[in-house]
Amino acid sequence: MRIASVHTHVLEAALSQPFAYSRAWYGTRMAMLVEIETDTGLTGWGECYGPAWMTEAVVRNVAPWLVGQDPLRTEHLWQDIYARLRDHGQKGLVIEGLSGIDIALWDIKGKHFGAPVHQLMGGPLRTEVRAYATGLYRRESGDPLQYLPEEAAGYVAEGFHAVKLKVGFGVAEDVAVTRAVREAIGPEVALMVDANHAYDAVAAIRLGRLIEPLDIGWFEEPVPPEDLAGYRAVKAALDIPIAGGECEFTRLGFRDLLATQALDIVQPDTCAAGGLSECKKIADMSAAFGVRYNPHVWGTGIGIAASLQLLAVVPTHTPTSLNPLEPILEFDRTEHPIRQAILRQPIEHDRGTVRIPDGPGLGIEIDREALARFKVN
């Protein structure tokens, strides 16, 4: 079996209502999908996290190196692409492009052997995962002290055991909305906060101390990803677990986060940090360092399916026992017209729990009509 062609698909959809996190407004959602065809007729799908037009350029330029190669040699192809671009692409867009390629190759591998990816990565440690609701973004109008608690209560009513709130809008405002959301969801539901690296260590510690009494599950990206000393300072100052890693890449990047004990929870994005091949290695490294692994997930159903395949084989956070702490799925609840539309069978939750697809490959089928509807290139 040989790779016959590599196609990129840039998709875009307008949102009915823009929403914001600490650094930008979203008016549309975009996606960059990778489709790899083999000479035996198998097709694999992957997704790249990151600016769609830029990751598209990476994959389009890497594509000629893949044509004619054996798609089952996922490790060889990963290392070959990485080595060819090492001098210019150890992090960022190149690795995001490589991630989508690697996921598509694993999808082919699974289809070739008639098994889900997680079966080929060691077999499932679990068949379903609990999901937490990612939402609670800012809107153009209305009072966040009113609409955020209402939205959070809605997730609890749907059955979610945990919700994540966007912070990074100023310490005083963050404290007020965090308190309002905690009051709305009650003491039993986990509440995490995510600053999207809006703060420096001084401000992050100040915020953390003020919200510590509200029982915060984790404080995500308190400081910029390059500021490992800042991460360590925040981690040392607070009792709240510190999370991050959606802007870090490959086992080599995570080696530094882990070895310097910068974080309590790492969050590599499977569609950015190096794909399924690399994220399995990062997950095993994290377990060796006693650091929890909960993937960052922010994409279409392809990215969600890839994350679920990996989550099936991520070790438990606490050592095996009668009641181990399991990794959880980030389940994006914001508007994304493309997310489920491109799947023949949407990946949904049932009272906050998501089943891991067990069909061949990623376990999903692509709706090509929906794909064509959103395609801008």
CA distances in angstroms from 339 to 348, 358, 361, listed in the order given: 11, 19, 19
The sign of the dihedral angle between the CA atoms of 103, 106, 111, 117 is negative
In 3D space, the residue among 352, 354, 347, 327 whose CA is nearest the CA of residue 160 turns out to be 352
Amino acid at 236: A
The CA distance from 172 to 206, in Å, is 10
Exposure letters 196-215 (e unless 16+ CB within 10 A, then b): bbbbebebbbebbeebeebe
Residue 9 annotated as catalytic:
no
269 binds Ca ion (CB under 5 A): no
Candidate ranges 38-46, 178-186, 193-201, 234-242; the one touching Ca ion (CB under 5 A): 193-201
If the CB atoms of residues 130 and 296 are measured against Ca ion, the closer one turns out to be 296
For residues 116-175, which are near Ca ion according to CB under 5 A?
A: none
Q: At what angle do helices 201-211 and 171-185 cross, to 10 degrees?
A: 30
**Does position 194 bind Ca ion by CB under 5 A?**
yes
List binders of Ca ion among 333-372 (CB under 5 A). Answer: none
Residue 33 CA to residue 48 CA, distance in Å, equals 6
- By rule CB under 5 A, what count of residues binds Ca ion? 1
Q: For Ca ion, which is the closer residue by CB, 35 or 194? A: 194
Q: Strand (E) positions, 135-263?
A: 138-139, 162-166, 190-194, 216-220, 242-244
**In this chain, which stretch among 74-82, 112-120, 190-198, 360-368 interacts with Ca ion, using CB under 5 A?**
190-198
Report the helix count and the strand count for the chain, using DSSP H and E: 12, 13
Q: Are 271 and 47 in contact (CB under 8 A)?
A: yes
Tokens 């919700």 belong to which residue?
A: 163
Phi–psi pair at 73, nearest 5 degrees: -85, 60
Q: Residue 174 or residue 194: which is nearer to Ca ion going by CB?
A: 194
Residue 329 tokens read as 């799925």
Minimum separation from the CB atom of position 375 to Ca ion (A): 27
The three-class DSSP label of residue 2 is coil
Window contacting Ca ion (CB under 5 A); options: 109-117, 187-195, 198-206, 273-281? 187-195
Q: How far is the CB of 224 from Ca ion (least distance, A)?
A: 13
Tokens matching residue 115 = 């098994």
- Of 81 and 203, the one with the shorter C-beta distance to Ca ion is 203
CB closer to Ca ion out of 282 and 371? 282
CB of 246 to Ca ion, least distance (A): 5
Closer Cβ to Ca ion, 151 or 194, answer by number: 194
CB of 249 to Ca ion, least distance (A): 15
Rounded Cα distance between 215 and 238, Å, is 12
CB of 336 to Ca ion, least distance (A): 15
Q: Rounded CA gap, 181 and 39, in Å?
A: 53
**Phi, psi values for residue 225, rounded to 5°:** -60, -25
Is the distance from CB of 264 to CB of 291 less than 8 angstroms?
Answer: yes
CB of 17 to Ca ion, least distance (A): 20
* Shorter beta-carbon distance to Ca ion: residue 107 or 330: 330
The CB-of-222 to Ca ion minimum distance in angstroms stands at 11
Options 118, 296, 317, 336, the catalytic residue: 296
Residue, CB closest to Ca ion: 194
Residues of the shown chain interacting with Ca ion in the complex, contacts defined by CB under 5 A: 194
What residues act catalytically? 296
